[in-house]
Structure 1
């Protein structure tokens, strides 16, 4: 039995309807890092043993961030997109299924709900998936871990504001090539103009 789990009787017969799935933590605080979560699936059948426990963690705990730290002998963890499954040889009839995982970081929330489905070797399935309400606890409540507020200095910073959009860059307008001035139609081109100046009045030789 894991040292992180509360002391419990190794073998215990539980009547149908009175068993529960439970979760505890050694660091039940929002944004806690590397927190160990300990789960107990109380035996519900007095004729069969547990062979599989499937857990769907709440938003903010990715299955890929979960590491198995303690489980019944021979049981293995397999991750899925929405959670993980722990399975192995059937436990003794009346034995609770206990396992522990380590989460990279707990979400910033007041409570965490872990929907749990248990399977026995005779095919019986117990679904602890009902979400908590303010009125009363459901007949098959999902395990709930209540968290204390995040420690000071361990609060997630507000999301950064996106930078202001840059003004659109307009392409520079291409200037047309310069053209040589077109002479006036009544103006003689410069190469054909006669030289100007005083008339030559010298006598002929």
Structure 2
């Protein structure tokens, strides 16, 4: 193989490898924050959401999560789903202005949910499902300011509210966007959901499956990128061999 062909193959290998690596890196999710999933729900509905908490420390574990519910738009009904290894404490506070609901007057509401006793190790995440409702009809979003405590005593405060037209803050608070209620008057986030907690919790599995599907798709795209890069190198080598063969069988006197 002459030096020119060898250089060409080296360049092809470099480009192919770089392409595969770039695609693989693109498939890796961005540095995660505490979030609420799904990210939106219908106004006036009963919805089940999960607070997804990733561990962002390479040397410490998360041991406590505190989620503060909005007091300017209190929610009448709040219930939690057991999470293995974690103990939950629900804090209720008396409302300055009682809520008027279909079931009567509500004088107090849940203002904070605290999970302790468990552990989220480095490189892991945990989801904490909560049933909420009815969601307010006079708001466009609900902000859940959250504190994440590590076993090295560090506390990360996810309390910064995002402002329209500005860059995402360093520690954004989990936010649930509220959308217009459906025209058929269905106040549940899923066609299979009902007012019972069991039915509402079924939506958690749907949300988790969708998230897993997205992660799987990202990994597949990364692998495809690597394969495409490798095929590019292979085609370059094959083309080089064919040129060498053609040159060897030509007329020497030409």
**TM-score (normalised: structure 1):** 0.59
RMSD: 2.6
CA contact (8 A) 2:86 2:115 kept: no
Check if 1:137 corresponds to 2:168.
yes
**Residue 89 of structure 1 aligns to a residue in which SS?**
strand
4+ runs deviating over 4 angstroms? none
Correspondence for 2:178 among 147, 155, 164: 147
Distance 1:131 1:72 in 2: 30
Task: Write the deviation string for residues 40-90 of structure 1: whole angstroms up to 9, x where unpaired.
Answer: 11111111111111111223234x732111424233233243322111132
Distance 2:39 2:167 in 1: 27
How many residue pairs align between the two structures? 138
Structure 2 gap ranges (5+):
1-28, 94-110, 187-254
The higher relative CO (CA closer than 8 Å, separation ≥ 6) is in 2
Task: Write the deviation string for residues 119-139 of structure 1: whole angstroms up to 9, x where unpaired.
Answer: 011111111100110122111
**TM-score (normalised: structure 2):** 0.48
- 1:84 aligned partner: 113
- 1:124 aligned partner: 154
Larger radius of gyration: 1
Structure 1 gap ranges (5+):
1-13, 156-205
Q: Which has the higher helix share?
A: 2
